[in-house]
Every structure is written in C-alpha cells, then in structure tokens.
Amino acid sequence: MTGSSNELFDFIAMALAKFVATEGEDSHLFPGRQRELGFTFSFPVRQSSIASGTLIKWTKGFSIEDAVGEDVVSELSKAMERVGLDMRVAALVNDTIGTLAGGRYNDPDVIAAVILGTGTNAAYVEQIHAIPKWHGPLPKSGEMVINTEWGNFQSSHLPLTEYDQTLDDESLNPGEQTYEKLISGMYLGEIVRIVLLRMAEELLIFGDIVPSKLKIPFILRTPDMSAMHHDTSSDLTVVGKRLGDILEISDTSLRMRKVVVDLCDIVATRGARLAAAGIFGILKKLGRDTLRDGEKQRSVIALDGGLFEHYTKFRNCMEATLRELLGPEVAENMVIVLSNDGSGIGASLLAASHSQYLETE
C-alpha cells in the first residue's frame, strides 16, 4: 500500500498468474486468442477510454506516489508481461460502476449503486441533458453513468467534530475524502479509538495510566467495533475480550463496557444516517424522492461492500433513515439489494461487451 508502482502491479499480476494456473481443462481458449480481463480499480481515475485511465489520487490508506498520473491499465499490462501472462485489459471499471453494471444487468430498475466497505462511493444513471460538463458525442440512450466519487464530498453542513479533525490530521490524505472519513469501514473503528483515547487521558476511564495500545492509530478496526456493538451477552463478554485482546485493557467494569457499546452506537449511527442522506440526495436529484401524479416508480439501489453486508446495526439504521427521509409511500417503492461482489461481476460483463473478438463470433 505504500511501496512503488512496480511492486503493487507485480503483486497483482503474480496473484492473477496463480489464479490462471488453477483453471481447469475445460477453460481452454480458441487458438490464437488472448484472455481478456475486466480490471476493477477502486480509486479516482481520469478515464480516457474504456481501457485506459490515469490515477488522480490514492484513497483508503494507499500512498504510492510514482503511480499518480500514470495509466493504471498500462502499469498492469507491463506487470503481466513481466510475469509472462498473455492477457489484455478489455475494460477499466471503477468498482461502483461495476456494481451498477452488474445490478442493472440483473434488474433494469437499478438506478444507482453504492459501495459501503473500506471506502465509499456512489454512481447513478443520469439524463445526458442534465450533464453540463459533457461535450462529447451524445449516447443513443440519452443517458450516461455518473461516478460521483462522493467520498471526497465536503460541506459546511457535515457535522465534523474535534475527533474527526484529529483523524484527518493524522491520515495519509489530510483535507481529502471528508465524507468517506465519516461513514466508511476504514475509519469508523478509528473514530472510536480516538474518542476512547481522549476519555482515557482526560477522564482516566481506564485508570491512572493511559493504555499504550490505545495510542496506536487504526489498532481498533471496524469489524472489532461491530463485534462489540452487537454484543448481546448480559455482562458484555465480547466487549471485555476485545478490549483485552486488542488494547490490552483488562478488568473493565460492566459500566465501562456499556460506555464502549454506547460509543460504538453513536459513531455507527452517525455514519449510517449520513450514508442514507447521500443516497437520498441521489434519489432527489433523479426526482425519485416524491410520487409523480400517484405513479409508483420502483427504484432499486445495488449496494456492495463489507460494511453494509456485515455490520447489521449500521445497515438497519441506514435503511430506517432512508425510509424516514423518503416517507412511507415513496419508501414502499425503494429497494436496496445486496450485490455481493457486484463490482467484479459488472467488470466481467463490461469486459465481455468490449471484447476484441465480438465481431468474429
């Protein structure tokens, strides 16, 4: 995550070569044909064609300076050559666009895709006349997919606290990805750690000595936070065990464990409600936040990502907030579907639809 561009892309190419080596006898190609690849790339790129795009910046804790400004398809292609893989990237696909493509393939009512995992992003289908920055040829459908890169959304209306400021100051990308730092899996556990550290320093909640492990950034991961938040045992055993195993804080009182659960609830609830507000913003932009002349439009959101899939309380709160924002009548026609590995499936579909062999079949 912090090495050189060659190290990163060589690692990907070697993993790919290992996977290809496991293919069975039934997966032989036609003679003289290359394998074709859909390349899911979950970072902001300036895409110049279906199979080329330069990296604008890293997010989610990646920091590989010599890759910024480079064509990521070219970098992967060179790495595949170095490991002797004869493959062609047929489509470079942002993971959110892949999820939208996969979702739309399965259900024509899918109008947007959202990733809520390590990072976050959203994409939706827009009418071409509503895109003032587009100056190219008009698509026949009259529609175009918009990749919002909403993780970088910043606004004076976002409820930032001093803890968010601390997280931002200590991050690899200060001043960037503000919305992502409030709602995504990379950061929720870290916000909990920062608040606990402040409580340990100022309120001495863990005794006179501040636990040294509590000072280590990102030591408390969001899956750990989720496990503590979902602890239903009468004495909050899971909370006690995680505090002991990860932060080396032993002999915590039940009262203290309850404080930790409450803190997890506050951080998760804020993140889930803000995520719902983002989805509502897209529905509002598309005019799907109200009933038009009583007509009932079905609006499906394809959602992928481990945070949404595995953090049940986060997911339930987000869905409840969206219903609250839309009102019961509109919410009745809004469906969120878990699109498990939707991005990989969508990238495969887009690669297949841009195969160099389509004309010959």
Catalytically annotated residues: 60, 95
Please, are residues 1 and 64 in contact by the beta-carbon 8 Å criterion? yes
Closest C-alpha among 151, 111, 113, 109 to residue 127:
111
Strand partners, 144: 126
Structure tokens at 4: 């050189």
User: What's the CA gap between 43 and 299, in Å, rounded?
Assistant: 27
Lookup: tokens for 221: 């991961």
Residues 6+ apart with CB under 8 A from 226: 264, 268, 310, 311, 312, 313, 314
Judge contact between 186 and 119, C-beta under 8 A.
yes
Give the 3-state secondary structure of 335-346: EEEECCCHHHHH
Neighbours of 207 (CB within 10 A): 10
**How far, in Å, CA of 302 to CA of 49, rounded?**
25
Burial of 160: CB neighbours in 10 Å, binned 0-12, 13-18, 19+: middle
Give residue 82's identity as a one-letter amino acid code: R
Angle of helix 188-202 versus helix 254-285 axis, rounded to 10: 140
202 DSSP 8-state letter: H
Burial class (CB in 10 A: 0-12, 13-18, 19+), 141: exposed
Contact 326, 287 (CB under 8 A): no
CB contact at 8 A, 197 and 215: yes
